[in-house]
Amino acid sequence: MEAAVEEATGPLRAAAFFDLDRTLIAGSSGLYWARAARSSGMLNRRQMARYGLENLKFRLNGSTDASTNRVREQVAEVLGGYSRRSLSRMAPQVVAGVLPRVYPQMLDVAYAHQDAGRPVYICTAASQDLADLLAHVLGFDGAIGARYEVRDGIYTGKAVEPFTYREGKAIRMAQIAAEDGLDLSTSYGYSDSESDLPMLRAVGHAVAVNPDAELAAIAEEEGWEIMRFEQLGRKMKAGVAVVGMALIGGVGRRAANRRAAVPAPPAGPRRRMGRP
């Protein structure tokens, strides 16, 4: 399903803001950052396994406040002591992992907004450096992401407020709107998660993309447009159903085989027919 995109009008420009994970791309961009960090020696095997598990949970169920804040703290801690240059050298590997996961449907929507005169922005809880990189590669006009303190080119291990999650996204969007002359009341927002309600309610046109259960219910109630094309959750649910049916079928076959293997009871003594 394609989102409806109208021509831009009015003295201030409208814009379009796109959440990244599960909205612009399938899964979590953080997984590909973690893989690059693992290759460079920043993460050990156990940390990498934890990132992989978090990504699977995220693709199936969306984000939670606890998991998002936990990942932010972990990233800040891991970055501490590393230079921005060392992270920039991870960029090719990160981009190589993320680009195949980009939803072409969402790129079509973003480029339609640009063609209608609206700048488009990534708006994510992922790092500002990653958001800037992907915005540049995808041809977007800008990006909003989580920032981490840097001194003399070295990450200190401290996060910078506001965190671009929940209300933090709406705060940074308002700052960008003031800087770039944007009218949020006529702008568009795209996200998959209930946690992005502040972002979606900050704009005039909210669109739920592959929404989690909470956002889907709210979008239905509010009359927001809904786009769906995430496949993993449905495939895994279908796979569970198939496995379940196979197990049931296997149990049935084993029971039938057991019945067939039981010998028939011996026949009783046969009575001779005839006159008494």
- Residues noted as catalytic: 19, 21
Instruction: Please count the CA atoms within 13 angstroms of the CA of 79 that sit on its side-chain side.
Output: 28
Q: Which residues of 115-125 are buried (b: 16+ CB within 10 A; e: fewer)?
A: eeebbbbbbbb
Chain-centre distance for alpha carbon 101: 10
CB atoms within 10 A of CB 195: 22
d(CA 61, CA 65): 12
Q: Is 191 helix (H, G, I), strand (E, B) or coil?
A: strand
Q: Where do runs of H (alpha helix) occur along the chain? A: 29-40, 45-61, 65-79, 84-88, 91-98, 104-115, 128-138, 167-180, 197-201, 213-222, 232-261
Strand pairing report for 154-160 and 142-151:
antiparallel
Which amino acid appears at position 242 of this protein? V
d(CA 134, CA 152): 24
Residues with Cβ within 8 Å of 199's Cβ and at least 6 positions away in sequence, in order, are 17, 19, 123, 169, 170, 173, 189, 191
Which amino acid appears at position 201 of this protein? R
d(CA 174, CA 185): 11
